[in-house]
Structure 1
């Protein structure tokens, strides 16, 4: 463990109510920018330069083979808040390093659950800043309250990072906000919250880490197929798994 913040933060009743109303919470601090700087050096040297458990993407699920990535998404300040929304029994089923180098195209407006094989569709995500994340270098934008309805997704317009997007005529961006984050800060959001990011027109990289949590009672259908991969496994990060529905593994040494 590199990040030394051991503060366990529980959500208040007001925060839980706000999450259900708005579909997100944060930003919160998981670790200091100084601690994240040390982790960033290792991610740059050991993760971004190597293959991982998913042969199709070296940025996917590196918590399964790289302990600092696992430790970031299980910091007490993260899991304490996840427990407030999912309960004590928590399964980590996916992580992804979103690396937007200068010039990387736009991620279209989308809702994550449209692509996910979760039955029932219960998920809580975090997005954590590895680099400093601002509007200038393409921070995530979200639309508060947009999680209440699953909207129709269509093939993306040319030049987008993702292959699908919400049908453009259905997106009202008048209430969109920028989720600007210092290194070590994160926000939580619903599997149905509408979000996107612009093209990175700056000269600064924007590296962030997402993590996806669910409960042991959720079945992840066909763990060997996209968006999972052959050999995919989940990690129990809190409580116990009394259901045995999904392939599990231990954290990396």
Structure 2
């Protein structure tokens, strides 16, 4: 669902202003169609096989498969797609880096992902992964959630509570130990080995579920939101349908990425070495030179 105006959808001259105004008020925009479902179905068949080949993956044989846009052409094309980048620019400005991509599968029977927030992406362990070096009036990070498969209510589509990006309900800088037994069956509190409940500023706080928007999406659509906006998903209660989300993270070029990490970071019980890492410049120019930079992959996918 979306409340974005038809004019913004049609891409008229005021679309960027409308996107920005709606985003500033609500913390999200979309969904928007980037590819038709039948096109994404063929893309996904290729990508699934390419993800198994980790010879060029910057983190090697890593189970999370982060940042595969750096070696898989189809993913690089999505990250740098003009329709995505144009809308990201309307929110973050002209000069844009993709600093990370992640996979969010929900298999039949998988638990809910409880409400959570982020901005500098401490992500339970260590230090802030993102450090802005310039003042920003609004959001300085943006997540684009790309549906590689249909995302419906019964397969755990993304849910968001609008306007919650203005208040911190979670302390993302609080370190939480990794527990491979999470999520605990029936609690909905876990996230791949971490407990979001331990990040609550007020342990008794509960979100107003009546305000939640559940974004059912077709394959090839995207939802854009600041990770400060409360978001999560329900359990996948389908019998045989997997929901596959591809999260693309963007920041302006003034933001330092991994500057507080000494060559690696630890997450989900794995070590992520940064010697081959680079942020991808998808729009504009980088006048700050804070980060090692690469560009979208050229050639055929």
- TM-score of the superposition, structure 1-length normalised? 0.88
- Post-superposition shift, 1:103? 2.1
Of the candidates 130, 133, 153, which is equivalent to residue 151 of structure 2? 133
1:206 aligns with 2:243: yes
Residues 76, 8 of structure 1: CA spacing in aligned structure 2 closer, same or farther, 3 A cutoff?
farther
Which has the larger Rg?
2
CA distance in 1, matches of 2:168, 2:286: 29
1:225: how far off? 1.9
Is residue 158 from structure 1 mapped to residue 184 from structure 2 by the alignment? yes
Instruction: Count residues in correspondence.
Output: 246
Query: Does 1:177 find its partner at 2:213?
Result: yes
Partner deviation per Cα, 1:111-145 (whole Å, 9 max, x = no partner): 12252521128211100100011011011111111
Q: Does 1:75 align with 2:81?
A: yes
1:138-183 residue CA offsets vs partner (Å, 9 max, x unmatched): 1111111111112234758734224142536323122011111101
Distance in 2, matches of 1:157 and 1:201, equals 16
* SS of the residue 1:170 aligns to: coil
Shift of 1:17: 1.1
Q: Distance in 1 between matches of 2:106 and 2:225?
A: 20
Query: Which of 17, 20, 25 does residue 21 from structure 2 map onto?
Result: 17
Check if 1:225 corresponds to 2:246: no
Deviations, residues 37-64 of structure 1 (Å, cap 9, x unaligned): 11111112221x2333224334311101
Tell me by how many angstroms 1:8 deviates. Answer: 10
Q: Tell me, what secondary structure is at the counterpart of 2:155?
A: coil
Matched position secondary structure for 1:133: coil
| Structure 2: distance between partners of 1:12 and 1:251 | 24
Q: Closer, same or farther in 2 for the Cα pair 1:85/1:226, shift >3 Å? A: farther
Deviation at 1:249, TM superposition (A): 2.3
Aligned to 1:3: none
Give me the CA root mean square deviation: 2.4
8 Å CA contact 1:110–1:164 kept in 2: the answer is no
After alignment, is 238-247 or 151-160 more displaced? 151-160
1:49-98 Cα offsets, whole Å, 9 max, x none, are 23332243343111011010111122111011011011111011000121
> How many Å separate the matches in 2 of 1:58 and 1:151?
27
Aligned-pair CA distance for 1:105: 2.3
Structure-2 separation of matches of 1:142 and 1:226? 28
User: Where do 5+ consecutive residues of structure 1 fail to align?
Assistant: 1-6
Q: Distance in 2 between matches of 1:213 and 1:133?
A: 22
Checking the alignment, whether the CA contact within 8 Å between 1:122 and 1:191 is kept in structure 2 is no
Q: Give me the whole-angstrom Cα distance separating, in 1, the residues matched to 2:27 and 2:205.
A: 18
Rounded to whole Å, the distance in 2 between the matches of 1:8 and 1:118 is 33
Which consecutive unaligned segments of at least 5 residues does structure 2 have?
1-8, 123-127, 133-138, 177-181
